[in-house]
Amino acid sequence: MRRPLIAANWKMHLGRADEAQALVRAMMPALSRIEQIEVAICPPFTVLHALFDVLRSSAIALGAQNMHSEDKGAHTGETSPLMLAGLCQYVILGHSERRAMGGTGDTDEAINRKVGASFAHGLIPILCVGEDSGQHERGDTDVFVRGQVESALQGVTPEQVASCVVAYEPIWAIGSGKAANPADANRTIGITIRGAVADRFGEEAAQAVRVLYGGSVTAASIAGFMAMPEIDGALVGGASLKPEFAELVAAAVPS
Ligand code: PGA
């Protein structure tokens, strides 16, 4: 059985300790009553320590939104896996907003190195994949997403793959208010993403890896995604920035 995960991606919001702690404290009572679903908060780097202090006594996990693949070095402005190990359980890798940064962003090779580094330091990657609107309209989703999964997971062991999290986030659905159809997301996750994992790492890893859907998920839409057999939760951006995020998580619990 795969334990559902709902991860909050705060992006470049709520980066002051007072505002980040206030939001988490407002949600904690409601979130701690929900045992069936694991919750992770991925805030900006500036408040990881502040939230670590608030969350250490709770079951709510903490995640970073990116990291460098090297332990240390002359990389101004970067954050190393060593700095995150012990502070976070999760790290979002290869978010489309970072892949879109071109030369300075996440190439497939860089993401693959980061995935390896996350496992080496005991961090669970939340590996983001997903097609853009042109690929979606041309029917190229399966080939493109499969390629992203294969390249990100090169050199990883089946056991590591089994423990990792993949987030299927169609780029056209992110922040657009137009979520994917749950049945379509279920198909891409089941056939394309689990299929790619099965081909490379075996059926056991494919059945163990948790795969989330992300892109304009709301409290009103989450149940439709959770009802799908291949979807193990969600990566939530905009709807995770308010105390009502706790209602979204509550709505994800199977009735
Ligand atoms: P959204 O963002 O929920 O605001 O669409 C999701 C994401 O980018 O992870």
Ligand 1 touching residue 237 (CB < 6 A): yes
Between the CA of 241 and the centroid of ligand 1 the distance, in Å, is 11
Ligand 1 nearest atom to the CA of residue 238, by list position: 4
Q: Where would I find the H helices in the chain?
A: 17-32, 48-55, 81-84, 96-99, 108-120, 133-138, 141-152, 158-163, 182-187, 194-201, 203-208, 222-226, 245-251
Ligand 1 touching residue 214 (CB < 6 A): yes
Q: Is 68 a catalytic residue?
A: no
pTM: 0.98
pLDDT tens figures, 31-83: 999 999 999 999 999 999 999 999 999 999 999 999 999 999 999 999 999 99
Tokens (6 digits) for 202: 């075996």
Residue 177: exposure state from Cβ atoms within 10 A (0-12, 13-18, ≥19): exposed
pLDDT at 103: 66
Q: Is 95 a catalytic residue?
A: yes
| C-alpha torsion angle, residues 163, 149, 38, 250 (rounded to 10) | -160
Question: Atom 3, ligand 1: which residue's CA is nearest?
Answer: 237
Ligand 1 nearest atom to the CA of residue 175, by list position: 5
Give the chain's residues under pLDDT 70.
103-104
pLDDT at 255: 79
